[in-house]
Structure formats: C-alpha cells, structure tokens
C-alpha cells in the first residue's frame, strides 16, 4: 500500500460523475482515500432532463467499498454550488476534474443557435465556473490540481461537431492559461483528450467498439497528473485511451521572413510559400515568437520581389471589426486588389468605407456587433447580392488575473470572439454552399494557442476559434469552402492596452494583412484548409501538433497509476525518433487502435496452458444471473413498412409496403429489430479477458417467432441475458439471448440469440464447447445437389442508409470516414440487413417459418447482388447467400424450420 499513489485527506470534485469516465474517476479516487464530490445533473447526453439518481448510485458504490463521498446535482454552470458542496462536506478542495459534457452533433448548415449555446454553456462556461470557484481555495492552501477534458474532435476538428470541436479545443487554451497563473501557487493544470466509452460516445461509435475503450484506461493518467507527487507537469496535453498514452505539443515551422515594408505583398509571400510550411528546422514554443527580434531581422533584408498580383474582381469580402486596426488594413488591401468590401464595426465602419471609396474602390459599412451575424451578412447580400470571403477579426479584451475575473468578463470575451465568429460564418454558410465557393479566415492568437497570464477568458475564446475552424474546414472542403486560422501579432487599439506605444507603432497591421489576403485567394498551391499560421513583423509560419510515440500498455493487464509513472519519461519523450504529427481524428485513434493487439504474453490472445482467470469466471456466473430491467420498443405500420423497404421490398409488394392491403404483414426477420437498443445487464468487457472491439465479429444470429401472426403495431419489451461464454483458446464466444414480450399481454413475441466471436479473448479457463440448444445452435449443411430454389436480388446504393433507420445507427453503415477507420473503403451493409433479404427469399419461396439460424460469412456493399440458394429438407429449408459480384458467401450454414408450405405473398 505504501507504494500506491494515494489521496488520503484530499477532496476531489468530479463533474459529470454519474456514469462513464466520471464514475470511473470518482470510484477510483474513493478507493484511494479521497473524499469525493460526485456531481451529476442526471440529464441525457444531449443535456436534457435532470435526476439525482445517477450521482446517488455512484456515492452508494463508493460508500459500500468503504470510501467517503457526497452527491451534488447542480449544473456545472452553477460551479460555485458544486465547490461549496465540497467545502461544506469536507472543508477543502484539492482536485477538480472538469469532465461533464454533452453532445449536440449536427452538420453546420443545420446547426441552430441552441445547439451551439448549450455546448458552450456546459463545456466552456461550466469548466470556467467550477475552476473559478475552486481557485481561491487552491491559492489560499497553495495547492490545487485541475484536469480539463478536450477530445480528438477538438484537437483535429470533426465533421458535424463544429460546436463540440470549438468547446473542446477552448479547454486547451483555457487550461494552459490557468497553468501559467497557477504554477507559483502549486496549482498544476493539465488537459486530457480521452477516448473512452460513455453515454456521449454511444452516439458516434458502435457498442461493440465502445466495450473495450473502458474508462479504466484513462483514470491512471489522471491520477498521476492529479497527485501531489506531480510537481512539474503542468500545461500539458495528453491523448489517452485503450491502453495507450501520449503527449502533444505545438510545433512551429521556421517560416518565411520577408522585409517588413510596402514591398511585403501577398504575391511576395506566395513566392516563399514553401518556407512558410517548412518544418525541417522547427521550434517547440510555449509562447509567442520574439516579434521585435524578427522585425529587426526583417528590416535588414532587401525589398521583396513584387511577386504575382492577386485579383479579387467580382468577389465580395466581409471583414468584421474593420473600423480600425487589423480589420481596416485587411479591408483596404482587399479593395486595392479589386474586391468589393463590406466593412463591419460596432463603432465606426464609415471611416474605412470612405478611405476605400477615395482610392476608387467599392465598399459599404454595417454598424453592428459580430454577434448579430445575420444582420452583418445581410448587408453584403443587400449591397452586392453575394458573399465570397469572410474574415472574422472583431474582438475585445477583458484581461484580469483569474482569481479576480468576473463572469461578465468571461462571457463578454467568449461572446464577441467565439460566438461572433460562429454567428457571422453561420449566416454566410448557405451562400457559400449554394455557389460552391467560400473562403474564411478566422483569428486566434498566441494567447489562445499557448495560454497567457491574465487571459483565461481570451485564451478559451481564441483556442475555441481554432477548434471551430478545423471542424468547419472538414465540412466545407468538398464544397470548395476553405477555412484557415491566423494568430497575428500587430499593434492595434486592442493591443494598446497591453503593449508599449512604440511597439504598437512598430508592429504594423500592414505586415499581417498580406497573408490573410493570400489565404482568401485561389493562388496558393494545394489550397490549405484547416491550417494554423502565426504571422507578424514580416514573418509567416505554419504551426501544427507534434505527438510523442507514447507508451502502450498490455490490454490484458489492469492498468494502474504506478505503472504509468514507471514509464513517464517514455510517455513524454518527443526526441526518441517516434514522434509524429497527427492531423485528423483517425490519426488520433491510430495508436490507440494499434494497441488493441498488445498482450502481456507477446501473442495475440493465445491460451496459456492451465490458466484459470477466476475473476472472469466469477463475472460470467454473476452476469448469467443478472436480470435486465427491460427495454421498451414501440412500432407501428410506418416502422413495418420502413423495415420491409430496408430489406428490399418493392413498391409492387403491396402486402409489405401498403398498410391498407388485405394481407399487410410483417416479415418474420423483423424480429431482430426490437432488441437493437435493449440494455443488457452485463458488459462484454467483463466476461472475456483482453476484450478488443477491433477483434469482435457478429458470428451467428438465431431468431424464433413465438407469436403468429406478428402484430403490425405493438409495444414490446425486450429482456437480454447472458446465455454462455465459450473459451476457444485464442478467442472467446459470447452468446446473448433476448426475449421480447408484448407489453400488454405479457406473451412472448420473439426470441433472439446473438453470438459474437472475440479474437484474442480466450484462454481464461472457461468451457471449450458451447451447449446444444437445439435449433439455436444447429449448423446446417447444404445437400450435395442443385438447389430447389434460387432467388437473385440486387441491393440499392441506398440500402444501408434505409436499413439503419430501423434502429442501428452505427456510422459504419453510412459515414465513409468512419468505415475507413474500420478498414472498409465504403460504408457496408449491416449483417442483419442481408440476413433480412435472405429470410425474405425463404419466406417468399416456402412460406412462414417458426425460426431461422444463420452464420455470417462475409461483407456486402450497397449495390451488390445477393443470390440465395435454398434446399427443402422435410419441414426445414437449408440455405446460403452469396454476393454475385465476388462469388463469396455472406451467409453460410443457415436453416429455417417451416410452419407451412405456402407463401403469403
């Protein structure tokens, strides 16, 4: 026990601790001696509703194990109440884990302000409110630890998550600022980007994949960072999940330095573009570049060659905050190169408009806040009928040491910078989509990227803008909409509050504007999007992530904080030749997914002779006895028709697609649908060792129809239970049986058995052979003769899209980006979809069946042709299904027991 990292006497506050990661944190800290405040609002992952149950269950669990805990049911936006709970219950707070979160995923064009605002409230404002309330206590006791939660969506940007990406990257800038302010008070603040199963990730990852991304893999890193023995690791960013831990930092290109005078033009930068993106001599900054030194070096250079002249004739550029400073110079330069300019400023747009008109250009002014994005963009449309370029530049400063920062200061800065950027871009987006053209340059800052003392609000807003931009870049790319972000250094009225006047004069906005204009042109080779550039004093450089090779822990050994600490130097080592430069969510998952093959034996799940894993065997017995609460499923005629269409019904199959047909009916294979989202009373990860979602295959499906005729509308309740777990040495087999009953009568309607085959999860000492359960376990062999019937049917390109509407929203069947992570070039057809086709073919040829059993043997792509070969053997039909285009089986060893000899169709 003495070697354990313990938290005796300390108080740990965990937000969103009713489930997933938060629950794992809370129970862990409780087991290591801490007093735990379990905060959970008890709402849905979308932020709807409220309940005390989630927090109470976790508190009871901690207390039952001998720990100390209290519940708190407040929203994180009332962070002061959460921290007050800690002080009232335990007299102190030592560790704050900002973990609470919700999702509101939606494509940008369909995003509503409420989708944006709710995410910001919970993730950004909630984290601020909790940290701000804890801060005075931390300072007074000269001790505190803060863990903030980012995500891969924040680090790299994620399609359909512009709000979430913005919120999550904002946590990096916010936390880096807290780290700088807190260090002298022994307050250490770090950010993690975890990949773990939770109510939130259930919406974007398939259940089987989630089962091995246990929170248990994330907790040990958090424990190390939050422990008093950590005296130096602060301001860090860590990627963690699935047994892998790595650290990230910013890497800055050497960049291109040009003479800072009137010869610094967009064309001059274009001539040196390779240098801007040259990482052969990188630096690893913790703050802004030395712009004074850069300016001095730039002035020693000869004048820049003229370079190519850009032409923006016919283009309309909207610049926010362009009444002065940077925005004014942007507006003047765009106008000088032929663009019609919309000058937006809350105070005085007219002066800039007049300047442009005097030089022979075209401009209109719109006096409005960037937060009124609709009004600002409408001015462009009203004046010129189109909008091509948006430069989000408007901003304010409300700098203050964190312990003196007010909610108003935080909210004002977030609203102008981050919400204003969102609102203006959102208003312009429909026009960009319609014309299949758009250029956006957003403005972050070095304070956002690296954090800065007294700018926790500004850093949160500015880093959030970068996360927003990266997500937006992914959505816009296919529509020829490019989105980039700059971190400028220039003297303006805003920086005048923090810079000496001579520096304000020296750092001219004129040395930033040419890069902005260039990024909005069509001249840059391999047009960049989603990039980040630092610029000022004649210097232009791309900045990107660098990630350590990190360390992967064997996934068949429980991970502890002590094990993480032992390899800490390897986790944080950027110089051992293993570092890489992740740019996407897939890059972020790469190391984590690769680690699923990591076993302590050195082999991929090979069975160890004589080994008995008593914990797994006990878990299996416990899981078999566990009873499901029951999951409701209501369907009506519309759902029946939708399912029938999903398995290939045509408009001419009236009994399947027309509710008023005398013979309207439910195809028997519909029976697999009600259990789709039924909650099982056990987790696969608990009943097999080394569970890896990448190693899981849906092997077999058995369906029994217990009520005839199947009702065309009903309220059903499904009760899943564990049937058996078989140990195949190098694999485990898990069989789940689900009984589905009529909610009104209590009658059985369907019974399903689903068998999953998990490679690498055997060798735990369980039975090597499964039980014989009659039809449910029969493997049918096709007779050695020609089939009695053959049905050939082509699936449509939309088949997967239609079928998923019957219940399983796994993105593997619709999202090309997700299917690529799974190793498929395009989204594939759900196995139960082509099972439905095959069952329909048997039904059409031979009539109703009381049960059907299939073994899945291959994949099917939407648009491919299914060929079902059937043999009648007494009261049974043996069948198999092939993909015509490949000749390969997709369903094998299949059979159905018939009720009668005629089809209803």
Active site residues: 164, 168, 458
Asked whether the beta carbons of 337 and 308 are under 8 A apart, the reply is no
Query: Treating both helix axes as pointing N-terminal to C-terminal, what angle do 20-31 and 53-64 enclose, rounded to 10 degrees?
Result: 30
> For residues 522 and 337, what is the distance between their CA atoms, to the nearest angstrom?
13
Contact indicator for 398, 412 with CB cutoff of 8 Å = yes
Long-range pairs for 569-577 at CB < 8 Å and ≥24 separation? Answer: 571/238, 571/245, 571/246, 571/247, 572/233, 572/236, 572/247, 572/548, 573/548, 573/549, 574/247, 574/249, 574/284, 574/546, 574/548, 576/549, 577/549
The SS3 call for residue 551 is: strand
CB-based contact 297:289 (threshold 8 Å):
no
DSSP class per residue in 747-792: -EEEEEEEEEEEET---SS--SS----GGGT------SS--SEEEE
For residue 746 the two structure tokens come to: 């209590």
Determine the Cα–Cα distance for residues 547 and 564; give it in Å rounded to an integer.
17
Residue 37, token pair as written in the block: 């405040």
Q: Are 857 and 870 in contact (CB under 8 A)?
A: no
Distance CA 195, CA 198 (A): 9
The C-alpha angle with vertex 268 and arms to 263 and 271, in degrees rounded to 5, equals 160
Torsion of CA 471, 473, 479, 482, to 10 degrees: 160
Beta bridge partners of 241: 244
Burial class (CB in 10 A: 0-12, 13-18, 19+), 770: middle
With b for 16 or more beta-carbon neighbours within 10 A and e for fewer, the 443-480 pattern comes to: bbbbbbbbbbebbbbbbbbbbbbbbbbbbbbbbbeebb
Q: Is the dihedral of CA 686, 689, 692, 698 positive or negative?
A: negative
DSSP string, 611-674: ---HHHHHHHHHHHH-----EEEEE-HHHHHHHHHHTT--TT-HHHH-TTSTT----GGGGGST
What is the CB-side half-sphere exposure of residue 268 using CA atoms within 13 A? 22
Residue 123 near residue 168, CB atoms below 8 Å:
yes
Report which of 243, 246, 242, 245 is spatially closest to residue 693, judged by C-alpha positions: 242
* Cβ–Cβ < 8 Å for 764, 613: yes
Task: Answer for the pair 703, 752: CB distance below 8 angstroms, yes or no.
Answer: yes
CA nearest 678: which of 755, 746, 738, 741? Answer: 738
Q: What crossing angle do the helices spanning 831-846 and 637-646 adopt, rounded to 10°?
A: 100
Cβ atoms of 856 and 891 closer than 8 Å: yes
Q: What does the alpha-carbon distance between residue 558 and residue 703 come to, in Å, rounded to a whole number?
A: 37
Residue found under tokens 């601020």: 128
The residues that bridge with 732 in the sheet, in sequence order, are 727, 758
Helix axes 126-141, 162-182, angle to 10 degrees: 10
Which pair of tokens denotes residue 661?
């047909």
Q: Distance between CA 748 and CA 130 in Å, rounded?
A: 50
Cα–Cα distances in Å, from 874 out to 841, 846, 871, 879? Answer: 18, 12, 10, 14
């Amino acid at each position: 026990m003495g070697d354990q990292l313990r938290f005796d006497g300390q108080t740990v506050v965990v937000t969103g601790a009713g489930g997933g990661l938060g629950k794992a944190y809370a129970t862990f800290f409780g087991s290591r001696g801490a007093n735990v405040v379990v905060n959970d609002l008890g709402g849905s992952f979308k932020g709807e509703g409220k309940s005390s149950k989630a927090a109470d269950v976790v508190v009871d669990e901690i207390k039952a194990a001998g720990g100390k805990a209290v519940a708190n049911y407040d929203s994180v936006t009332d962070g002061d109440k959460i921290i007050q709970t800690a002080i009232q219950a335990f007299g102190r707070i030592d560790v704050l884990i900002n973990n609470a979160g919700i999702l509101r995923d939606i494509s940008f064009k369909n995003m509503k302000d409420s989708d944006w605002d709710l995410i910001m409230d919970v993730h950004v404002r909630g984290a601020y409110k909790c940290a701000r309330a804890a801060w005075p206590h931390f300072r007074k006791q000269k001790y505190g630890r803060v863990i903030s939660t980012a995500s891969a969506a924040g680090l790299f940007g994620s399609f359909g998550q512009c709000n979430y990406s913005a919120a999550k990257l904002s946590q990096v800038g916010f936390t880096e600022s807290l780290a700088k302010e807190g260090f002298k008070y022994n307050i250490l603040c770090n950010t993690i980007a975890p990949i773990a199963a939770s109510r939130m990730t259930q919406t974007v990852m398939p259940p089987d994949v989630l089962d091995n991304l246990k929170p248990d893999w994330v907790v040990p890193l958090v424990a190390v960072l939050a422990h008093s023995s950590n005296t130096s690791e602060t301001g860090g960013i860590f990627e963690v999940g699935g047994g892998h831990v790595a650290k990230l930092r910013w890497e800055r290109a050497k960049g291109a330095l040009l003479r800072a005078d009137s010869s610094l033009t967009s064309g001059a930068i274009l001539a040196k573009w390779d240098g801007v993106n040259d990482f052969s001599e990188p630096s690893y900054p913790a703050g802004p570049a030395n712009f004074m030194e850069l300016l001095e070096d730039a002035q020693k250079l000869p004048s820049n060659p003229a370079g190519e002249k850009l032409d923006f004739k016919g283009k309309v550029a909207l610049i926010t905050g362009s009444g002065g400073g940077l925005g004014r110079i942007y507006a003047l330069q765009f106008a000088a190169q032929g663009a019609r300019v919309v000058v937006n400023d809350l105070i005085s747009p007219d002066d800039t408009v007049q300047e442009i008109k005097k030089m022979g250009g075209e401009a209109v002014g719109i006096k409005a806040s960037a937060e009124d994005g609709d009004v600002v963009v409408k001015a462009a449309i009203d004046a010129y009928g189109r909008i091509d370029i948006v430069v989000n530049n408007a901003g304010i400063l409300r700098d203050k040491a964190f312990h003196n920062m007010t909610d108003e200061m935080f909210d004002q800065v977030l609203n102008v910078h981050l919400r204003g950027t969102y609102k203006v871009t959102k208003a312009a987006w429909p026009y960009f989509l319609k014309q299949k053209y758009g250029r956006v340059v957003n403005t972050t800052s070095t304070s956002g990227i690296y954090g800065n003392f007294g700018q926790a609000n500004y850093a949160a807003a500015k880093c959030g803008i970068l996360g927003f931009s990266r997500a937006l870049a992914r959505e816009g790319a296919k529509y020829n909409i490019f989105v980039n972000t700059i971190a400028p250094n220039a003297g303006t009225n805003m920086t005048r509050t923090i810079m000496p006047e001579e520096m304000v004069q020296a750092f001219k906005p004129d040395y930033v504007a040419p890069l902005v204009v260039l990024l909005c042109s069509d001249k840059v080779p391999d047009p960049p999007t989603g990039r980040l550039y630092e610029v000022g004093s004649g210097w232009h450089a791309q900045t990107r992530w660098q990630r350590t090779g990190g360390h992967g822990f064997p996934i068949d050994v429980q991970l502890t904080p002590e094990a993480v600490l032992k390899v800490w130097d390897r986790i944080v080592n950027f110089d051992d030749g293993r570092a890489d430069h992740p740019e996407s969510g897939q890059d972020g998952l790469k190391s984590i997914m690769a680690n699923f093959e990591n076993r302590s034996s050195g082999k991929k799940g090979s069975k160890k002779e004589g080994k008995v894993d008593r914990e797994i065997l006990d878990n299996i017995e416990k899981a078999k006895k566990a009873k499901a609460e029951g999951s409701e499923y209501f369907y009506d005629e519309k759902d029946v028709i939708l399912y029938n269409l999903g398995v290939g019904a045509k408009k001419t199959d009236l009994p399947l697609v027309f509710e008023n047909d005398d013979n309207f009916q439910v195809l028997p294979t519909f029976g697999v649908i009600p259990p789709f989202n039924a909650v099982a009373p056990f987790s696969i990860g608990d009943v097999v060792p080394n569970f890896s979602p990448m190693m899981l295959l849906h092997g077999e499906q058995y369906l029994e129809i217990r009520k005839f005729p199947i009702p065309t509308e009903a309220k059903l309740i499904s009760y899943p239970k564990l049937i058996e777990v078989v140990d195949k040495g190098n694999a485990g087999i898990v069989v789940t049986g689900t009984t589905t009953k009529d909610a009104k009568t209590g009658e059985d309607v369907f019974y399903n058995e689903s068998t999953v085959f998990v490679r690498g999860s055997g060798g735990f000492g369980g039975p090597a052979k499964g039980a014989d359960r009659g039809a449910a376990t029969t493997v049918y062999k096709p007779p050695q003769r020609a089939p009695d019937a053959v049905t050939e049917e082509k699936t449509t390109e939309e088949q997967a899209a239609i079928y998923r509407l019957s219940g399983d929203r796994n993105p593997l069947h619709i999202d090309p980006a997700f299917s690529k992570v799974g190793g498929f070039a395009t989204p594939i057809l759900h196995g139960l979809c082509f099972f439905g086709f095959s069952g329909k073919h048997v039904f059409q040829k031979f009539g109703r069946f009381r049960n059907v059993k299939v073994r899945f043997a291959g994949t099917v792509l939407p648009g491919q042709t299914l060929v079902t070969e059937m043999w009648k053997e007494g009261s049974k039909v043996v069948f198999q299904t092939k993909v015509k285009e490949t000749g390969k089986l997709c369903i094998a060893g299949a059979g159905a027991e018939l009720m009668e000899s005629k089809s209803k169709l």
